[in-house]
Structure 1
Amino acid sequence: MRALDWQRKIYLDGFAGKVSPIPPNSAQLEEAARRKMTPAAAAYILGGAGNEHTVLDNRRGFSTWQLVPRMLRNVENPDLSIELLGQKLSSPILLAPIGVLEMAHPEADLAVARAARATNTPFIFSNQASVPMESCSAVMGDTMRLFQLYWSRSRDLVTSFVNRAEACGCSAIVLTLDTTMLGWRTQDLALGHLPFLHGKGLAQYTSDPVFQKLLDEFLQRPPAARPPVTTTTIQHLLGAVRRYPTGSFLHKLRSGRAMGAVSLFSGIYSNSTITWDDLAFLREQTQLPILLKGILHPDDARKAVDYGMDGIIVSNHGGRQVDGSISTIEALPGVVAAVKGQLPVLLDSGIRGGADVLKALALGAQAVCLGRPYVYGLALGGQAGVETVIRNLLADLELTLGLSGYKTLADLNLESLRPV
């Protein structure tokens, strides 16, 4: 739907007394979702590392650039299409990988996958998804999907994840580099809540044959240290058992597989020992393009080129890992200059409106990843909520592009902006 049509629909619905529960204003959208979610879900999804300065700086960074609109340029029917990884996309928006979406809505990743298809928006499946990648791929038709990979301590599991991504039609592997250990996430810590310990966000693991084999071996070992037994412990244990995907409740409880899966995951999900040289192993496992997510320094961008990677996502994990980190829009120009057009650069973290997208593209990004806002839509309205957030952003982007005096995204450049 074109921007003016979507805008007109909103006004006509309002005239008929139907106002969407999904606010088009990003701050109001976040606040509405915060009120809808449980405290634990809000802490996990909205929260960041430390004092959360980087969460704020990701937004503030966009205000250091201003658009300079041009007039009388015939901007009817602006074109939002781009090319990425050899494919033509209808817009420069991708849905970022966000884990544990079951905390926002029961349909979780499946609702997002359906919304992605309905809006023709690429979706990067999360390594920490609540629904297996195969189930999400099955509802996406030909819509582009990618798979985010966390480098596990098991290389066999890394290979299995990559093979599954290939089999279910993913167009690329997005290797996330900045989460080799969890950041100091103060909102989660204040509640003493980590969703993975409750068996949430483990669907890629519990659906994986290599992980199940590792679990068989793990359950033969002596029991690991356990938390104190309280009524709360028992409630959480039973919840984790219910979430485990296969077998009767009684079987899952007696076998110990549900809590075993949680314990095994906790020990292998990330690997802080990996280096640039490990990328050769990943390249041997797949013919898919490999994008490195989490690049902020120009030297790391140059290394991505030297090591034969296929793309970069400039990201600080939404401010969830290193408090005080440089914002992504600040890092973007240096990364773009470093790669010299040899591979595509995308931007993640901080995108909240059409103007943000235009600024990122004018600074050299080929596309951007939308994160928290679509999860807010999910919390407020499931699939329909995600679709509304995406359509609102696309309409804002199309209108802002045309009103700035540009008919295509390729027309944007540094002259489109003024530094503040």
Structure 2
Amino acid sequence: MVRGDLGRGAAVPLDLDDVERAAAAALPPDVWDFVAGGSGRELSLAANRAAFDGVFVRPRVLNDVSACGAESTLLGRAVRMPVAIGPVAYHRLVHPEGESATARAAKAAGVPFTVATLSSVPVEEVTAAGGSVWFQLYWLRDTGRTLELVRRAEDAGCEAIVLTVDVPWMGRRLRDVRNGFTLPDHVRAVHLGGGASTAHRGGHGASAVAVHTAETFSRSLTWSSVERLRECTRLPIVLKGVLAPEDARRAVEHGVDALVVSNHGGRQLDGAVTAVDALPDVVEAVGGACEVLLDGGVRSGTDVLKALALGASGVLVGRAPVWGLAAGGEDGVRRVLDILAGELTDALGLAGCAGVAEARRLTTLAAPGGGSVRGAGARSG
């Protein structure tokens, strides 16, 4: 399949599995492994998906759903559905227009787009699309350079800082190691100088991207760093990568505006608990003091409904928009978001919910033999 041709001369994808297959067919094998892979034995990667499959919702009946809609708010801003595109590095690996195309699709869909520190397109070009843009921040070894990125994001018009807190260094992603993965010359970390780096110089038995991040990312990110960030920015602060309720409570004490419950898509600690399983404890720990979003394994609108029922304010989707970008450029990303919006509206109505607020009052059950799904599901409806 030619990139940018999703749905033209081929069957229009009906769900995200269709888009995933189209992306896998469109990308070189090593790039596909970089996008799709996890760390270690990929236990957490597989568990993210299994955790969603183990949650079942109790639908409500005899409710008027004639005006069913998925509109909501995230970080105080109206959105067409409680979904944001999460940060993923190097979109130009999969399509020449990279993050710019993804941002335009997000704007058209009425959802936020999170531009990464490791973006292959400058944040100023991304915000020029005119949509709601959040900036994902890695804390660099050079604190001054880190805070310069924050100011640059503010000046560009970003609406939030998403501080990723689970990457002191990159997890051991064996697909990339086996492939000796390196960035092609045309793909650069434009926010980190934009020149050639160790990410472009690889060899057998190592991931050049992992070597580059090990040289660049701080291993000394602490709660004092969060305090420093709070002092230097007026933007909402979101911590991404929180799984423990103790950390969630401490985040509230430090005045963060939202948390993203996430195991980094199964790409950091292999064996880390899934976001689905961690979510109820985190929601309980913060007690409504900040928003709580879920990231990891979302593949359908029904998954979004389940996350809402478990107490999430919304979800991030990372890989799926990149699949759409790989298979169809901006149109492909729009198709991904259209599928999610349609499936979520369908799931809301069939669950007896006229909107997102009602979904948060649904109850859930774990599959027989499954894990301990709780949250809203601990209550009988």
TM-score by length of 1: 0.80
Aligned in 2, Cα 1:163/1:74: closer, same or farther, shift over 3 Å?
same
3-state SS of paired residue (2:265):
helix
Match of 1:38 among 24, 28, 32: 28
Residue 20 of structure 1 deviates from its aligned partner by 5.8
- Give the gaps of 5 or more residues in structure 2: 1-6, 204-208, 368-381
The alignment-based identity, stated in percent, is 39
Q: Residue deviations 1:357-388, cap 9 Å, x none?
A: 00101111101001111111101100000001
Alignment of 1:7-406 (within 5 A): 21-139=11-129, 141=130, 143-195=131-183, 200-206=187-193, 268-406=215-353
**Counterparts of 1:287 and 1:69, CA distance in 2:** 41
Aligned in 2, Cα 1:336/1:228: closer, same or farther, shift over 3 Å?
closer
TM-score by length of 2: 0.87
**Counterparts of 1:107 and 1:21, CA distance in 2:** 24
Aligned in 2, Cα 1:270/1:22: closer, same or farther, shift over 3 Å?
farther
**Counterparts of 1:61 and 1:334, CA distance in 2:** 15
Query: Greater CA deviation, 327-336 or 111-120?
Result: 111-120
Residue 199 of structure 1 deviates from its aligned partner by 6.7
**Counterparts of 2:154 and 2:68, CA distance in 1:** 34
3-state SS of paired residue (2:144):
helix
1:416 aligns with 2:363: yes
**Counterparts of 2:361 and 2:110, CA distance in 1:** 29
3-state SS of paired residue (2:17):
helix
Q: Write the letter of the residue equivalent to 2:13.
A: P
Query: 1:22, 1:380 within 8 Å by CA — same for their partners in 2?
Result: no
Q: Write the letter of the residue equivalent to 2:51.
A: G
3-state SS of paired residue (2:56):
strand
3-state SS of paired residue (1:51):
coil
3-state SS of paired residue (2:283):
helix
3-state SS of paired residue (2:69):
coil
Q: Residue deviations 1:246-301, cap 9 Å, x none?
A: xxxxxxxxxxxxxxxx9996565211112112211111211111110000011010
Query: 2:135, 2:162 within 8 Å by CA — same for their partners in 1?
Result: yes
- Cα RMSD of the aligned pairs, angstroms, is 2.7
- Give the gaps of 5 or more residues in structure 1: 1-16, 219-223, 230-261
**Counterparts of 1:350 and 1:375, CA distance in 2:** 14
Query: 1:93, 1:367 within 8 Å by CA — same for their partners in 2?
Result: yes
Residue 193 of structure 1 deviates from its aligned partner by 0.7
Aligned in 2, Cα 1:263/1:417: closer, same or farther, shift over 3 Å?
closer
Q: Write the letter of the residue equivalent to 1:277.
A: S
Query: Greater CA deviation, 371-380 or 266-275?
Result: 266-275
Q: Residue deviations 1:159-195, cap 9 Å, x none?
A: 1110011111111100001111010101101101143
Q: Residue deviations 1:17-58, cap 9 Å, x none?
A: 977655223333222211110112101000000111111110
| Structure with max Cα Rg | 1
How many residue pairs match? The answer is: 357
Q: Write the letter of the residue equivalent to 1:286.
A: T
**Counterparts of 2:26 and 2:99, CA distance in 1:** 18
**Counterparts of 1:122 and 1:27, CA distance in 2:** 23
